[in-house]
Amino acid sequence: MEVAEARFRFYAELNDLLPVRKRKNRVHVYRFYGKNSVKDAIESFDVPHTQVDLILVRQQSVTFDYILRPGDFISVYPVFESLDISGVTRLRPAPLRHPAFVLDVHLGKLARLMRMAGIDTLYRNDYDDREIIDIAQNEKRIILTRDKGILKHRIVTHGHWLLATYPDQQFIEVVRRFDLFNHLKTFSRCIHCNTLLEPVKKSEVEKYLKPGTRKCFVEFMRCPGCGRIYWRGSHYEHMSRHLEALIRQAETE
């Protein structure tokens, strides 16, 4: 059986996912025997299919099941989660218009920042890959991860491999990537369990407060999920300044 060739070009940040030795090349040759799907070819370059929103062959949009033909030139574009291209792409019916996330076990600090910003974020430090995939499928959540492997599962439809390695930069990356600026409602969620907070009368929680807190504060929020109580103390002020700085950075860079 003869070896066939197809050529691939990856656009924008998809190049950051390629092996380092291949990033300098604009066009990448893929050699294959017999029937090979475009999904398998793309992932052979270490690009998870969840990072891809549009594949063009001869200027026509194709699905991940498209079978390569000798001589194909394939253009691969990244996810347009903040831009509706449902009239063009054949890969997914539409982006998620009300973004919610599930994070892998290595992203606890990012989860905390996202919840502080009011972003619907599920996280536990004991999730396994199967649980994360099931949650994403059942609850229509976007998987955030630093593990490309989980995003290569065929049933995963929405996910993002984080380029940044530090939580602050990861937060900025997520806000920009998914255009979350209009979804930010700071300090509206419990940073421990993700539940939306509710106002509570001081008289209802007074017995749980330390004397200094009881004396200095009058407004409180309570998590109906885990029962934690929140108020705008010095820790809140510090977190608020930090979060505002990250959001400004996401807006300006």
Q: Which tens digit of pLDDT belongs to each residue from 190-232?
A: 999 999 999 999 999 999 999 889 988 999 999 999 999 999 9
pLDDT score, position 20: 84
Domain assignments of the chain as residue spans, ordered by start: 4-78, 101-187+244-252
How would you classify residue 179: left for phi > 0, otherwise alpha for psi between -120 and 50, otherwise beta? left
DSSP track, 22-43: GTT-SSEEEEE-S--BHHHHHH
**Which tens digits make up the pLDDT trace of 149-194?**
999 998 998 899 999 999 999 999 999 988 898 899 999 999 999 9
Can you tell me the mean pLDDT for 40-69? 92
The CA-CA-CA angle for residues 93, 97, 99, to 5°, reads 115
pLDDT score, position 197: 97
Query: Domain 4-78 belongs to what topology?
Result: Ubiquitin-like (UB roll) (3.10.20)
Can you tell me the mean pLDDT for 231-242? 92
**Which tens digits make up the pLDDT trace of 74-129?**
999 987 655 555 555 556 555 555 789 999 999 999 999 999 999 999 999 999 99
- E strands, 110-206, in order: 121-122, 142-145, 159-161, 198-200
CA distance 227 to 240: 22
How would you classify residue 88: left for phi > 0, otherwise alpha for psi between -120 and 50, otherwise beta? alpha
- Nearby residues of 93 by Cβ (< 8 Å), 6 or more positions away: 86
CA distance 2 to 236: 66
pLDDT of 24 over the 80 cut = no
72 within 8 A of 91, measured Cβ to Cβ: no
pLDDT score, position 53: 86
CA distance 129 to 105: 9
- E strands, 194-252, in order: 198-200, 220-222, 229-230
CA distance 185 to 190: 12
pTM metric for this prediction: 0.77
